[in-house]
Structure 1
Amino acid sequence: MTDYRKLIDAETWAFIERTDSYYPPDTIDDTIAQQREIYDRMCREFFAGYPQGVTAKTTAIEPGDHAIAIRTYRAEEKPAEAVVLYFHGGGFILGGLDSHDDVCAELCTRTGYEVVSVDYRLAPEHLHPAAFDDALAAFEWAAGRYEQPILLCGDSAGGNLAAAVSHATRGHKRHPAGQVLIYPGLGGDQSKGSYVTHAEAPMLTLRDLEFSKDIRTGGADVSGDITYMPLKDADFANLPPTVIITAQCDPLSSDGEAYGARVLAAGGKAWWFEEPGLVHGYLRARHSVGRARASFSRIVDAVAALGRGEWPW
């Protein structure tokens, strides 16, 4: 059994305990409505506010028979050098524009780029591929609206969506200029690696992942569906420059490692970094935990570099 007392420092434990006080591990046994209420309250407790000078505007796009709410963040009045499409985490069940509001605002001010947060549809009301369809529609909308490079960024479930959109748009006239995936779930082999070593990790367990999968799919067979599991794609050529940052104490970390290796093997650019001693969901700890603060700076630097067309890794 993994000894997390040795891997996780005191600051991170304090973050875990604070998170558990708002969102207890047994919340998984509550109804979806209750889980959302608890999660939203937790997000409000961790909300860090907006940096000075950032503005945000909530609007919607209508790619088909429904509207997709978006929130656009700007740091300056002049056009940004690049645009970031951000897909939030939450297991495809939880979260929205408010859950990652301050993260997007800080990403905007620290890069100077315009950030567009996408409020994709959630399960179980909208089963797979609804979230993917919305993410893809948001990229196609952005590709028709912006002349600047468009980057994809997301954490956890949002990282899955960013990768899935990257795979789906390789043959399009406009494709992503880069992708930054933060502790993403990509459909890796659950019989080995971090899925085994960290099956009972703080903040995210294998049971949590199976619960999310069952809710998102409604029990349907998604094996081989690359819009659900990007790692199942047989072709990793021509993907955008890719940065993957994962947490050591997270069952999903091996997904990031495997994805980066597949991109490199296909001749692409990829850099994977596993944050020592961190746990799933650590973005909310970026103001209280030194390791998380350093990781968020790595994420910001990666987004900024890809937006400039640079590859420093």
Structure 2
Amino acid sequence: MTDPDYQTLIDAETWPFIRATEACYPPDAVGLSVDDQRRVYDRMCRAFHRGHPPGVAVQDGRRAGVPVRNYTFGPPAATLVYLHGGGFVVGGLDSHDDVCAEICAATGLHVISADYRLVPEHRHPAAYDDALAVARAVEGPLLLAGDSAGGALAASVAHALRGRVAGMVLIYPGLGGDRNRGSYLTHAAAPMLTRDDVLYYAALRHDGPEPADDVTAAALAARDFTALPPTVIISAECDPLADDGRDYRDAILAAGGRAAWICEPGLVHGYLRARHSVARARDSFSRITGALAGLAEGRWPVV
């Protein structure tokens, strides 16, 4: 197998974003203590924070006992529960604050960012339980979205809330695919996220071996993909997780559902933070917000 030529796959505009990220959150950060990982991750998030669009109202609170941050931009037609990435180890209300504010402004949705519990202090299924509780507490039309680990949580919650979710957008999610084939091997040494990183986060999430056939931990472990909401999965090409998005789409389509998968060429894991500096990431973020707006209106296809 030939190693990918990332100098060709990744365009010149994206490399400065990768270097700036690594300057704050180095590739070997998983070797740090959890406290230090959170410290450097928080520093990175502050460095990339772009503020809030004018008119977005922000309020912290609790929902179903879970800390949340609410974003509104006029009277919302539906509510989006957003679940942040961070390998279930890092991140919180501040890490994706500007992302959620911009989604709110672009879609008009009431966005609820959930501050679910993190590992290793709270092993699986704590994060899933929190995400599910927040989603269940929403009244009226409900959408789900999340990036990376948050995308995994959103997908698992959708399986539990069949018939309740109007639509879902998953952004470079890890959904429990076979880590010994496909993109997990092709992009095992990708910038921003490696296969070894994926294995590290998975081991830390569980107090012992990963559970088998547990849809609350990995949506691709499900035996039943029927009655899931219309789903858009957006993966980054240069990411070991890329094939999970394709496989999840295929499972939903095979069960008679609605699903679309986009693999963004030349992009890397975590590219949401490049949406203001990299044209490919900006275009992808527009697809994400457009899909959410379309799903809220009951339209399909939306990408």
TM over 0.5: yes
The equivalent of 1:7 in structure 2 is: 9
Q: 1:74 aligns with which of 63, 66, 72?
A: 72
1:10 match: secondary structure: coil
The equivalent of 1:52 in structure 2 is: 54
The equivalent of 1:152 in structure 2 is: 144
After superposition, where does 1:1-313 map in structure 2 within 5 Å?
A: 1-61=3-63, 63=64, 67-76=65-74, 79-142=75-138, 146-147=139-140, 149-170=141-162, 175-313=164-302
**1:63-105 deviations in whole A, cap 9, x for unaligned?**
4xxx3100000111xx311111000000000000000000000
1:151 match: secondary structure: strand
Identity of aligned residues (%): 57
Give structure 1 stretches of 5+ with no counterpart.
none
TM-score when normalising by structure 2 = 0.98
Distance 1:41 1:258 in 2: 34
Distance 1:136 1:54 in 2: 26
Distance 2:91 2:176 in 1: 21
2:137 match: secondary structure: helix
Distance 1:242 1:201 in 2: 26
**1:137-171 deviations in whole A, cap 9, x for unaligned?**
011111xxx22x1100000000000000011112x
1:25 match: secondary structure: coil
How many residues matched? Answer: 300
**1:82-134 deviations in whole A, cap 9, x for unaligned?**
11100000000000000000000000000011100000000000000000000
Distance 1:219 1:7 in 2: 37
Letter of the structure 1 residue corresponding to residue 71 of structure 2? Y
Distance 1:17 1:310, change over 3 A: same
2:247 match: secondary structure: helix
TM-score when normalising by structure 1 = 0.94
Distance 1:15 1:5 in 2: 14
2:85 match: secondary structure: coil
Task: Note if contact 2:202-2:210 (Cα within 8 Å) is conserved in structure 1.
Answer: no
Distance 2:208 2:244 in 1: 22
Alpha-carbon shift at residue 43 of structure 1 (Å): 0.1
Distance 1:229 1:86 in 2: 18
Alpha-carbon shift at residue 286 of structure 1 (Å): 0.1
Distance 1:69 1:167 in 2: 23
Distance 1:210 1:223 in 2: 15
Alpha-carbon shift at residue 218 of structure 1 (Å): 2.1
